[in-house]
């Protein structure tokens, strides 16, 4: 976690799994987060839940993210996760999804800062591994609590914050209010990672310039474009204008991603899980929807590989 101005892959349920995290590390992501892991599921030793927390050495530094609504449950989950020795364990204080909020976790905790504080304190006490937290700005526009929450978390011993300055009610609409990242950065001395709407290398530089954040976290823009980390790093280091990889290179990355998926999950599941990822790699290219339809009908790794390998010839 030492790198100056780290570029961070955001936790993305359904997307930031082990193969994708590894690929993003290969393209220069300095820190990667797992998908959110349910504290309830973890303490019940649910196989599916614990599988989300599994990682390989090639993904390090890795942060395992946990969500839960009760201090004891979160502490219990953190004890289990501590045995996996991730580089940090993150508390999810931002997820706006109804099924998470209904149970009082994720961004619901922004409506109850004393409980959020108790959860964070229990987490810090439960482990020798660094505890970090990821926050939205508040529940709605009338209750922006991120500054107060950040200060309380720092006092408890949380070691890094990632700020996605949208409210719960905003979901993913509108824009992230980057001025709140700057205000959090000014209010605390622990590292503050900025997040929200970074789609290009220029956006990353702009976020840094406007907020003074200690690192940038990228979520949606990395899906189907894991090379964005390389582009951001190049731009930050040299000011060199990043170009997009040629179509043939993009397909080569997609094929590598497919191979990592098949290695991690086996052919049937690996291919099935990869189809939504392939759709994003193809986004914006001519005949993308017709190509997607064809891929949906393929099941064998070798058939998809062959089909994708031919595409650059058709596009040249
Ligand atoms: C499909 C999807 C899944 C997400 N899953 C999580 C999650 O598990 N934990 C979390 O803290 N945030 C999650 N987020 C929020 C992202 O980490 C990030 O904060 C948000 O997408 C804004 O960053 P971006 O504009 O770079 O995508 C998710 C977002 C999306 C779109």
- Would the pLDDT of 1 be above 80? no
In a domain, 308, yes or no: yes
pLDDT digits (tens, 9 = 90+) for 144-195: 999 999 999 999 999 999 999 999 999 999 999 999 999 999 999 999 999 9
List the catalytic residues. Answer: 95
Cα(115) to centroid(ligand 1), Å: 23
CA-10 nearest atom, ligand 1: 17
CA–CA dist 315, 110 (Å, integer):
49
Say yes or no: 175 and 273 in one domain. Answer: no
Q: What is the dihedral of CA 265, 280, 53, 164, to 10 degrees?
A: 180
Say yes or no: 59 and 205 in one domain. Answer: yes
Domain that includes residue 309, residue range:
247-315
Cα(35) to centroid(ligand 1), Å: 9
Say yes or no: 128 and 60 in one domain. Answer: yes
Say yes or no: 254 and 223 in one domain. Answer: no
Q: What percent of the chain has pLDDT over 70?
A: 98
Say yes or no: 112 and 226 in one domain. Answer: yes
Q: What is the dihedral of CA 193, 13, 28, 93, to 10 degrees?
A: 10
> 199, 221 in Cβ contact below 8 A?
yes
Say yes or no: 68 and 216 in one domain. Answer: yes
pLDDT digits (tens, 9 = 90+) for 95-147: 999 999 999 999 999 999 999 999 999 999 999 999 999 999 999 999 999 99
Say yes or no: 87 and 170 in one domain. Answer: yes
Q: What is the dihedral of CA 252, 256, 17, 277, to 10 degrees?
A: 40
- The two tokens of residue 276 are 């939504």
CA–CA dist 215, 228 (Å, integer):
15
């Amino acid at each position: 976690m030492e790198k100056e101005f780290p570029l961070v892959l955001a936790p993305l349920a359904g997307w930031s799994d082990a193969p994708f995290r590894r690929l993003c590390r290969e393209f220069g992501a300095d820190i990667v987060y797992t998908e959110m892991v349910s504290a309830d599921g973890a303490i019940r030793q649910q196989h599916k839940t614990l599988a989300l927390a599994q990682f390989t050495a090639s993904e390090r530094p890795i942060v395992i993210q946990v969500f839960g609504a009760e201090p004891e449950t979160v502490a219990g989950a953190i004890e289990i996760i501590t045995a996996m020795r991730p580089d940090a364990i993150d508390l999810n204080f931002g997820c706006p999804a109804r099924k998470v909020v209904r149970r009082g976790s994720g961004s619901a905790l922004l409506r109850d800062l004393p409980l959020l504080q108790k959860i964070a304190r229990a987490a810090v006490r439960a482990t020798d591994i660094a505890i970090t937290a990821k926050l939205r700005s508040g529940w709605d526009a009338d209750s922006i609590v991120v500054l107060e929450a950040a200060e309380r978390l720092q006092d408890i011993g949380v070691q890094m914050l990632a700020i996605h300055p949208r409210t719960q009610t905003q979901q993913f609409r509108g824009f992230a209010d980057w001025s709140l990242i700057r205000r959090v950065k000014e209010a605390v001395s622990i590292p503050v990672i900025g997040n929200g709407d970074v789609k290009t290398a220029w956006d990353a530089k702009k976020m840094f310039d406007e907020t003074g954040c200690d690192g940038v976290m990228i979520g949606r823009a990395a899906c189907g474009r894991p090379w964005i980390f390389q582009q951001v790093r190049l731009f930050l280091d040299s000011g060199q204008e990043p170009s997009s990889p040629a179509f043939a290179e993009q397909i080569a990355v997609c094929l590598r991603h497919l191979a990592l998926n098949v290695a991690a999950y086996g052919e049937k599941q690996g291919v099935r899980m990869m189809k939504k990822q392939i759709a994003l790699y193809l986004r914006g290219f001519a005949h993308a929807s017709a190509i997607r339809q064809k891929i949906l009908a393929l099941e064998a790794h070798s058939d998809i590989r062959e089909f994708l390998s031919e595409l650059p010839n058709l596009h040249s």
